[in-house]
Amino acid sequence: QKEVEQNSGPLSVPEGAIASLNCTYSDRVSQSFFWYRQYSGKSPELIMSIYSNGDKEDGRFTAQLNKASQYVSLLIRDSQPSDSATYLCAVSSRGGGADGLTFGKGTHLIIQP
């Protein structure tokens, strides 16, 4: 049974600070890793993907992957109130998500103005 674990939160961060979201996964052969943002009542929206160990930056977002530790994280710099949402970590154990992504339950992030 593949598992993806996230702290459910809520994680409260002051506006302008760095928000750090963490995710661990159980399947050692996992290859593809994704972060989705989901506003309440809305559908998940892909914000980052990462496949190799190390950091990947896209604007205010940085994804970090450590396959040896089975750990993936998302950093949000200069947090804005509009970043308040639930962030879902998703993992695929075969390149390209051949059997569908396994999602964590999400971390609820609150950015305090």
Partner 1 sequence: DADVTQTPRNRITKTGKRIMLECSQTKGHDRMYWYRQDPGLGLRLIYYSFDVKDINKGEISDGYSVSRQAQAKFSLSLESAIPNQTALYFCATSGAGVNYGYTFGSGTRLTVV
Provide the binding-site residues for partner 1, judged by CB under 8 A: 31-32, 34, 42-46, 49, 51, 88, 90, 95-106
| Of 20, 18, 17, 15, the residue nearest 7 (C-alpha) | 20
Task: Give the nearer residue to partner 1 in terms of CB position, either 105 or 112.
Answer: 105
Least gap, CB of 16 to partner 1 (angstroms) = 28
Task: Give the nearer residue to partner 1 in terms of CB position, either 74 or 88.
Answer: 88
Residue tagged 């996964």 (tokens): 25
Task: Give the nearer residue to partner 1 in terms of CB position, either 38 or 70.
Answer: 38
Least gap, CB of 5 to partner 1 (angstroms) = 11
Angstrom distance (rounded) from CA 65 to CA 55:
7
Rounded to 5 degrees, what are φ and ψ at 23?
Answer: -155, 135
Angstrom distance (rounded) from CA 86 to CA 89:
10
